[in-house]
Amino acid sequence: MRRAPALLINTADIELWPGGLLRARSNADARALAQARWVLRRKRDGRYLAVATAHGVLPLVPRLMREDGIEAALDALDQQALAHRRSAVADSTLLPLSGLQQRLAQLDIDADGYGRPLWLRRSAARGWQRLQLAAAAEGVALDAISGYRSHAYQLGIFERKRARGLAVDDILQVNAAPGYSEHHSGFALDIGTPGEPPAEESFEHTAAFAWLQGNAGRFGFQLSYPRDNPHGIVYEPWHWCWRAGSPVG
């Protein structure tokens, strides 16, 4: 079942409006609203604070992270995205599958993001650099496997796996549908360690994972999909996400 989108997400200080419902008050607002999936609006005076786009949160005010209630609003946004992703996993008809077969022939790469340049939002990248250095200082080697991925790139992962004969339902067990990956945010990072195959559950038995569990939080990173997570997403010990409002800015 495809659930109807919520019209408004209400938090104590900030409302979240779906893109396309609010009227722009300036050219700058208009440009931002044009790409907004959600608009964060200050309740007190109606000021637009930020828009959430496919590529992350775009502030419309200076010092967005100091706004009252911003963390609660961003948490609500995260929850909404996860609920959306969960419904996508449950309903594969949301996938743009038509025309896939025709595009398959054009694909000649067989790498799910490995060996490509790493892209992360600045705050997340800073946190990752500090985390990696701190781990190295304690003799733990960590590699970044995959950070930001565009929708097109995520679709490419699906296409390559379809080309190998995997069913859509099976792909959805391990890859989010295009548009629903936390990697689209630029805050998510897949982490590996030398000598270990990338993005495998066996990562949980490494010293690297033990170190992350004890220390990643200090650098703002959290495990997005622990074992038996409430989102029904497969356990991913390698997938970590930097959260706004985390201790390292």
Contact set with Zn ion (CB under 5 A): 190, 239
Whether residue 137 contacts residue 131, with contact meaning beta carbons closer than 8 Å, is answered with no
CB of 120 to Zn ion, least distance (A): 12
CB of 80 to Zn ion, least distance (A): 19
Residue 33: CB atoms within 10 Å: 20
Cβ neighbourhood burial of 5 (10 Å; 0-12, 13-18, 19+): exposed
Name which of 194, 189, 198, 186 is nearest 219 in CA terms.
Answer: 189
Name which of 242, 123, 27, 19 is nearest 41 in CA terms.
Answer: 19
67/190 with CB nearer Zn ion: 190
Phi and psi at 218, nearest 5°, equal -65, -25
78/190 with CB nearer Zn ion: 190
33/189 with CB nearer Zn ion: 189
16/147 with CB nearer Zn ion: 147
Phi and psi at 8, nearest 5°, equal -150, 135
41/85 with CB nearer Zn ion: 85
Q: Which amino acid is at 193?
A: T
CB of 145 to Zn ion, least distance (A): 8
CB of 86 to Zn ion, least distance (A): 16
Q: How far is CA 239 from the centre of its chain?
A: 10
CB of 137 to Zn ion, least distance (A): 25
Q: Return d(Cα 37, Cα 52) in angstroms, integer.
A: 6
239/243 with CB nearer Zn ion: 239
CB of 188 to Zn ion, least distance (A): 6
3-state secondary structure of 135: helix
With CB atoms as reference, the residue minimizing the distance to Zn ion is: 239
